[in-house]
Chains A and B, each alone.
Chain A
Amino acid sequence: MAMIAAEAEPTYLDNENTIASWLLTKDHKRIALMFLASITAFFFVGGFAATLIRLHLATPNGLLQPSMYNRMFTMHGVIMVWFFLIPSIPTTLGNFLIPLMIGAHDLAFPRINLMSWYVFNLSGLVLLYALIMGGVDTGWTFYTPYSTSFSNGYVFAAALAVFVNGFSSIMTGLNFVVTIHRLRAPGMTWDRLPLFIWGIYSVSIVMLLATPVLAMDTLLLAVERFVGTGMFDPLRGGDPLLWQHMFWFYSHPAVYIMILPAMGLVSELIACYARRPIFGYSGMTIAMMAIAILSFFVWAHHMFVAGISIYSAILFSLTTFFVAVPSAIKVFNWTVSLHKGAIIFDAPMLYALGFVLLFTIGGVTGLMLATLGVDVPVHDTYFVIAHFHYIMVGATVSAFFGGVHFWWPKMTGRHYPEAWARFAAILAFAGFNLTFFPQYILGNLGMPRRYYTYPAEWQSWNLLSSAGASILAVAYALPLFYLGWSLFYGKRADPNPWRATGLEWLTPSPPPKDNFEHTPTVLIGPYSYDPESDRYTTQDGVSHA
């Protein structure tokens, strides 16, 4: 009887079909899909700029004018950081899954959620305006006094775009924190929350406390640029380093805004595909919160050669080392979780394994950069570029793709084609390493970042990197086609195709508008998988064969 009733109920996708029912929706699941559309568009705009950069760097003489090259790497950085990576997992999978995973019927503030999407797109339009009018050549870091007094790009509009974008981040983070605090289903205690929720919770705190500082920083920059005040102008007594301090107070934590939700997400995938409980659940939650808190005390490691005092440099080097401890705990726990598991190598798991490996490489090279003696020579070289791309692209984007595949049946009610997905995952891993590993070597040889040319003897490494980028581009474009195909021709998914344990798998795929017919009651923690007998128990306490 219950099955018939559940099937008769329209899903969130087809309960209303007008355009207004989408544009004015308060349903977190629809808003998640709208965010997915927006950030996918920005991902390909930012990717287009990356393609031009790698094409240009394939030969020492390049194909772009120097000023155009500067505009391309700025556009790539600004779009990828604020318009793809930071919103990527939270606004799409977070938005979709938080209420489903904690057994709620929506987020706490559905109107604020919708407004966040509009504000995000508004800021995107302001940025596109800046790009079309002539672009910005400062790099995504907008360092003063170049950005305020000398740059002839559209710095004001770009700073405004980043400022407005921050409101979207804050609205989303606020909604998530309140939802996780106040709307958990009966029995969903803090120690029974899926690790993805912990990842989102910790990232929301970072978003809420870091974003306002960037907002103030960009506001002062915009005022200086627009009215001509001298807050950052050394000629008038201003301090250009002030910009950097406030910028990195946000932008270092921003890296953790990108990685924390990915860490939570990958924990879900590893447990499900290894058919084993996550090793050290509480260690995982503590590590995520520790990373969130420590992220606020490391910002000046970006400024070791900017002229800060040697004593504060030593201090910030030390705090940066501390971050390695919780990060290593997580890598250790993921690895142990795989041990003696009955591992299934489906596409989401391939992405998850890629995440662990690439995050480890990116993290270890991060430690090298945290060391004062190493940082001074390799600062502002391709070593740094390779390091943060291993974290932001190798880790975060892998996790994002893994998550999109894993929850695709839940979001759309359709299966993706497994063979194509595995092929894309492997291609992405190969293309990524081919693109970015040579950049470690180039950085070590001394190739500076943001230069539009280089000596001829570095061409082979650059060519390798550009070749890898073309593979990566194919791997990232492929899902667009086969996932789009699956929307119409994919096999229909049942409520729990992966035999996973979270509450989101108790409701039909795709879920009805209000998520659950009855608010579920939670009896146990997540990840009750048994690798021996192949049984698993969903969080409502029901055991399945």
Chain B
Amino acid sequence: MAGVHVSTTVNGDDVEFVCPGSESLLDVLRNRLGLTGAKEGCGTGDCGACSVTVDGQLVCACLMLGAEVEGRQVQTVEGMAQGDQLHPLQRQFIENAALQCGICTPGFLMAAKALLDRNPDPTETEIRYALAGNLCRCTGYDKIVRAVSATAKELSQEATTKGSKKR
């Protein structure tokens, strides 16, 4: 299949690449752009290890073509930390020991971030449903769910203290 020229934005940076029309976004990110955070667990939408967001919508990068992100805003796990400052979710994953081998972690982080962006105070059931598209073979899900809950609490406390300072 002929090459497609694509201009897009990845983690806030303008990016251009050429890829075959049939190449997945996951292969583009990993092999052309050197962003290896998103992992290929299955390549068929089942495991969520390749989760990224496109225009704010959580997707499996293995189920999208690179050509489909023309003019879009792509966010990957590489864009989560601010320099040396880990995102609260990343910190809570470490503090709650919510990872072992770490293959699934970038996907869980992106899915959890998408959840908290849309629902800052999720119940445990809501967290479990939102993460149903992400599989972990080592850690088990309890610690992951706890890490997400703890982040939600941390962020809401932060928001209230910030709010009271303003007043």
Partners in one complex: no
